[in-house]
């Protein structure tokens, strides 16, 4: 069985992509991300080829109820993590899961 842990910080991920792909100045990036709802979480998926179970916590290890997330967070951010785990395509044809700043994979 494997465990794949995704460190999610969707605002930081967006900042990084705007900087790398569009070379925007920090002041313009600040304007774009101001007012956006931030999702910071650790999402761990367990299984072999397919997902058997998951854990979703905040950065301090407190459990997050998946139903407290909005549709974008569930469908796109967590959906891209599931796609990564199962070797499928990401939303927006990206090269990495949306909102994810770090991925750790281990065999358990």
The number of distinct structural domains making up the chain is 1
Q: pTM of this prediction?
A: 0.92
Tens digit of each residue's pLDDT (9 = 90 or more) over 7-25: 999 999 999 989 998 999 9
The residues, any chain, with a CB within 8 Å of residue 46's CB and separated by 6 or more, are: 1, 2, 3, 52, 53, 54, 55, 108
Determine the average pLDDT of the residues in 50-61: 97
d(CA 83, CA 32) in angstroms, rounded, equals: 27
Where does the pLDDT of residue 97 fall: very low under 50, low under 70, confident under 90, or very high at 90 and above?
Answer: very high
Residue 87 pLDDT exceeds 90? yes
- Estimate the crossing angle of helix 26-33 against helix 10-22, to 10 degrees: 140
Domain encompassing residue 85 = 2-107
d(CA 44, CA 86) in angstroms, rounded, equals: 13
Residue 92 pLDDT exceeds 90? no
Strands 2-9 and 51-57, how do they pair?
unpaired
């Amino acid at each position: 069985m494997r465990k794949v842990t995704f460190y999610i910080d969707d605002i930081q991920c967006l900042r990084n992509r705007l900087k790398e792909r569009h070379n925007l100045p920090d002041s313009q990036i600040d304007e774009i991300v101001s007012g956006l709802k931030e999702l910071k979480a650790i999402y761990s998926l367990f299984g072999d080829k397919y997902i058997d179970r998951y854990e979703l916590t905040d950065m301090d290890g407190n459990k997050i109820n998946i139903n407290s997330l909005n549709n974008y967070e569930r469908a796109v951010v967590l959906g891209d993590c599931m796609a990564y785990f199962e070797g499928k395509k990401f939303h927006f044809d990206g090269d990495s899961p949306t909102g994810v700043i770090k991925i750790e994979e281990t065999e358990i």
